[in-house]
Amino acid sequence: MSKKNKIAAKNMIKTKNVATDIPQLRSYRFDFLGKSKFVVIISTVFIITGIVFFLTRGFNFGIDFRGGNLMEVKFQKDISISELRVTMEEIGYGKAILQSTGSDRYIIRTVQLTDEEKTKILDDLDKKIGITKPLIQDRNVAAGFSQTIIKNALIAVAISIAGILIYVWIRFAVRFAIVTIVELLHDLLIILSFYTISHREFNSTTIAVILTILGYSLSDAVVIFDRVREELRFGKTDRFPDLVNYSINKTIVRSLITGTTTFFPIIVLLIVGNETLKDFGFGLLVGIISGTFSSIFIGPPLLVLWNKRFPVYKK
Amino acid sequence: MQSKRVQIIVILVFAAILGLCLYSAYPFQSSIKLGLDLEGGTQIILKPSEIGAEQVTDSALDKAQLIILNRIDKLGISEPLITRDYNKNIIVQLPGVDDPKRAIELIGKTAQLEFRILESFDENDNPVFGPVLMTGDKLAKAEAGYDSNGSIVVSMAFTSEGQTEFAKITSENVGKQLAIVLDGEMKSAPRIKQAIEGDAVIEGIDTLAEAQDIALVLQTGALPVSLEIQESQTIGPTLGQDSLRQSMLAGIIGFALIAIFMVALFRGLGLISLIGLIAYIIIFWGILAALKTPLTLPGIAGTILTIGMAVDANVLIFARIKEEMLKGKGKYAAFSEGFKNALKAIIDSNVTTLITAAALYRFGTGPIRGFAVTLAIGVFISMFTAIILVRAILFLMVDTRVITPGFIGVKLPKITREVVKEK
């Protein structure tokens, strides 16, 4: 490159540099706001399906939420679920819920049992099929206690949401806070729908999943809002929808990368994990997808809509 | 420009912390305390309610916990853990116990021993007692054995104060029947022939094992509250080991995938973020070992999740650095701006995660609490490693030739590249 050209290039860059620092119309590649209605439609369909399942079949609550007795038994030989069901009927517990965790392993859930009743079931099973001791697991929850667990779970979720609301309100503005809450409620409904549709076990661990997802979704939302807040300082001349779209375009790479890195261990967990880990993993997986989508396609459009009705920023 | 000395000091401090953490996490297998769901064992949740006039106060619960601990100790169960949750429930954890029947029976026994006068029987043949004359707290010793007739008894010796009192009671009530009532059930009611100085016995016991249990609970004292079992859970040793192995595997493979992904995307920067991530994992284990926080199954899942999230801070920063580089800024300016611009978002998202962790800790029980603790620890450490450590390493390297746009994974437009070179 000749010296003359070099100087010319240098000047060009200089002007370009200056240009990026001057408030200008933000140009972006992809119109995320425009695509939001598809996501809203998909979410709505999913949630309505979830509600239908909830009304017809309800949640598959774990025993910590409904009380009762759970035993996981390893038998001395392989046995099919129908054979085991017949045996359970013979010993008077035809209503027990059976779940296979291996060819010779079953989870048997019944109503709450006294010690004598439990001993009798195990003795009968031992006589008829043969069981290995000690049991893989054995859990007994009083019906009244599950009420307390549910109450605590609801309090935990409510308190987290309230805490988040206040924090976002302080750090951003009230409209950001309220939009965030709508996003989180969306994620909450999606996860709950997932658990009714898939009929996977819903227990107190699920509450941990839900709160983790709310935290995750929130991080996504905050990163985008943080960018909007930053651009607002420089881009006062931009239309607000453009500015929001620009901010999403600028943060989308991060959202996808973080989503992917969080995905990896969960996917592995789903492949190698046992049933307990899978109940956990599926919830996380659905939640992370939901959280990523809601932070892009639910929150920001709402923010723009709000600004249309009650403009603070340039329409 | 920040002096290099600061960065070197930061890195040295981290090296020292890492050393400490490795020391505390060594030997790896035994340093981390496992929760019941991973180790196997029994957990019993007991709900206290008042007996008579005695309220369920904190001090009553403290006393109850101590008594339960003593009883379990007498059974020879190692490392029992007795805690209280936010609803004032008492949680008893017995690692390694896979047949908790006897423990549950012993723990639940209130062991309220009362000496009262038997006045009459009502129409249903239930005994009617006079006021409580003396209780079990004046006992010095209780022992199971046989009396001269060969029937099973628990013989009790009183404290000196108890002896005087017992002598007084018996001398005042000669000719009446003295009922010995244990947890509301009349065990025996011998007629008082003369004032008794010394011992008393409980009769009407079916087996020697039962007598031994009664002696044991009498010796450890009466519970100041009555306890009702809300939940009992026993995890056999195999289930926990399976879960532990599987989630460890998930963690390791997940980490490897994250490593490949980060290096593919951010090249040299990705490599440095991995140093931060490895530091994160070491410090995490070290702190878990030092705090003796039991690692539970949800806790492991939380850990795996925080590994993914720990990368987030670095992703935010690197994306910003890339952006600044593409704007045509020099290395140093791009790095400073990148860190500065990303910081707000990192802090905001971490604080909100801490809010959820706090709510989980306050209202969760058992494994969920373990999850909340690991989540909170993870958030704190990741802030330190992803921001401070990675920053120090990068700023130490920023002047060297190692740091090129290629190192960062940026393809500058040709024209910008020329200018950056000259800067």
Residue with tokens 């920040």: B2
Q: Are residues A92 and A33 in the same domain?
A: no
A57/A95 same-domain check: no
User: Rounded CA gap, B11 and B15, in Å?
Assistant: 6
**Contact yes or no for B269/A292 (Cβ under 8 A):** no
Task: Give residue B69's pLDDT.
Answer: 86
CB-based contact, B421 to chain A, within 8 Å: no
Q: What is the pLDDT at residue A56? A: 94
With an 8 Å Cβ cutoff, is B228 touching chain A? yes
Per the CB < 8 A criterion, the answer to whether A137 and B123 are in contact is no
pLDDT digit string, tens, across residues A43-69: 999 999 999 999 999 888 888 888 888
DSSP codes of every residue in B71-138: HHHHHT-SS-EEEE-TTS-EEEEEET-S--HHHHHHHH----EEEEEEEEE-TTS-EEEEEEEEEGGG
In this structure, are strands B90-95 and B41-50 parallel, antiparallel, or unpaired?
A: antiparallel
Query: Given a cut of 70, is residue A26 above it in pLDDT?
Result: no
Q: B315 lies in which domain range?
A: 4-36+236-422
A112 touches chain B (CB under 8 A): no
Give the number of domains in chain B.
3
Q: What angle do CA A163, A166, A170 make, to 5 degrees?
A: 140
Q: Is A249 on the interface with B (CB under 8 A)?
A: no
* Residue A12 confidence (pLDDT): 46
| Range A49-70 burial, b when 16+ CB lie within 10 A, else e | ebeebeeeeebbbbbbbbbbbb
CB B171 within 8 A of CB B218: no
Instruction: State whether B419 and A230 contact (CB < 8 Å).
Output: no
- 3-class SS of residue A185: helix
Q: What pLDDT is recorded for position A1? A: 44
The Cα B320–Cα B35 span in angstroms is 40
Domain housing A41: 24-61+145-309
Residues A135 and A155 in one domain: no
Q: Which residues of chain B have pLDDT under 50?
A: 1
Cβ contact, residue pair B298, A280, below 8 Å: yes
Residue A17 has pLDDT above 60, yes or no: no
Do B41 and B165 belong together in one domain?
no
Residues B82 and B180 grouped into a single domain: no
Nearest CB among A207, A258, A274 relative to B368 is that of: A207
Cβ–Cβ gap A277/B360 under 8 Å: no
- Among B301, B328, B352, the residue with its CB nearest the CB of A13 is B328
Q: Does position A22 have pLDDT exceeding 50, yes or no?
A: no
Mean pLDDT of A7-26: 45
Query: Does any domain span residue A4?
Result: no
Long-range contacts of B126-129 (CB under 8 A, 24+ apart): B127/B179, B127/B186, B127/B189, B129/B179, B129/B181
Measured CA to CA, the distance from residue A276 to residue B247 in angstroms comes to: 11
Domain stop point among B160, B189, B220: B220
Q: Are residues A137 and A268 in the same domain?
A: no
Residues of chain A contacting residue B368, judged by C-beta atoms under 8 Å apart: 204-205, 207-208
Task: Check whether the bond before B27 is cis (ω within 30° of 0).
Answer: yes
Residues B334 and B372 in one domain: yes
| ipTM of the complex, rounded to two decimals | 0.75
The mean pLDDT value of chain A amounts to: 83
- The verdict on a CB contact (< 8 Å) between A207 and B364 is yes
Residue A135 located in a structural domain: yes
Model pTM greater than 0.95? no
pLDDT at A27: 67
Q: What is the mean pLDDT of residues A247-264?
A: 87
In a domain, A8, yes or no: no
What is the average pLDDT across A166-174? 88
Question: Using a CB-CB distance cutoff of 8 angstroms, which residues of chain B are in contact with residue A271?
Answer: 250
